[in-house]
Amino acid sequence: MQSLKEVRTRIASVNSTKQITNAMKMVSASKLRKAQNVIIKLRPYALKLQEILQNLSASQEEDEGNVFMSTREEKKILLVVVASNRGLCGAFNTNVIKSTNNLISSKYEEQAKNGNVKLICIGKKVSEYFSRSDKCEVIKQFDDIFNSLTFDNVVPVAEEIMKLFSDKHFDKIEFVYNKFKNAAVQILEIEQFLPIKAPEKNIEQPTSVDYILEPDKENIINEIIPKTLKLQFYKTLLDSFASEHGARMIAMNQATENAIELLKNLKLTYNKARQAAITNEILEIVSGSEALKG
């Protein structure tokens, strides 16, 4: 059995850890509330704008299509992998890394063998992992973007990614990230960014969208596409940011509960050891007294 001093030391250590995890849970809950409000307000606008863009792109003729709509043979692939700068958020980062590895090994196996799959990493955890990995080359890292996640700070990064496609350095660009559902649930998403996908046709309920376009269709499409793509990229980062704090809040809450349970067991162990020590002392006193009488 552990000595009383050892048990007391462990109790103090676990209690200190519990205070830290509880504080981290409260901080993450506060940050989650702010990030959740932003993504919930932005999502309907972003989705509606994306829907309009897809419907307009579906009605475009091949010869008048915008450069961001052009579909090419998928020889060169760019994966934009989004995670977090810090750990202590459960399987949040691990799931993104696993999903990226599976995507490279299965869907883009042929391109990866030819060295035609490249990565852009957003978040120190994925940047550190894939920088050490020999699967794919990391061409860019944007780890500081989460320090000030605003639309103005995101736009230059989005423009750089869009330029890689328009200059034909890559034939397809996909995002790998965690989509925010609620504080307890994050959905791992693999989403095509470029080229712009046309809406899926539903035979039972055919899509019939009639837009009044001013001044003309071509100018509107050329104007709306860059804005929509930038907004889509911003939404992706907001989703991941909110998911990170949700995952960390849950992880720290679980850690706090585990610490409380461990403290109960340690205190029980301490009381048993203390009771045993007191019993031994009483026995020694009684034995000594009987010996003196004898």
What structural domains and CATH numbers belong to the chain?
21-198+206-252 (3.40.1380.10)
pLDDT score of 125 more than 80: yes
Tens-digit pLDDT profile for residues 169-211: 999 999 999 999 888 889 999 999 988 876 665 545 455 566 6
H-helix or E-strand spanning residue 121: strand 117-122
Annotated active-site residue 89? The verdict is: yes
Indicate which residue of 82, 89, 103, 229 is catalytic: 89
CB proximity list for 23: less than 8 A, separation 6 or greater: none
pLDDT bracket for residue 287 (50, 70, 90) = confident
DSSP structural state of residue 82: E
Tens-digit pLDDT profile for residues 23-57: 999 999 998 999 889 888 888 888 888 787 777 76
For 188, phi and psi rounded to 5 degrees? -70, 120
Tens-digit pLDDT profile for residues 52-107: 777 776 666 544 567 888 888 889 999 999 999 998 898 999 999 999 999 999 99
Bridge partners for 179 per DSSP: 187
Within 13 A of 109's CA, how many CA atoms are on the CB side? 4
The string of DSSP codes covering 59-70 is TS-GGG--GGG-
How many CB atoms sit inside 10 A of residue 155's CB?
A: 16
H-helix or E-strand spanning residue 79: strand 77-82
- Percent above pLDDT 70 for the chain: 90
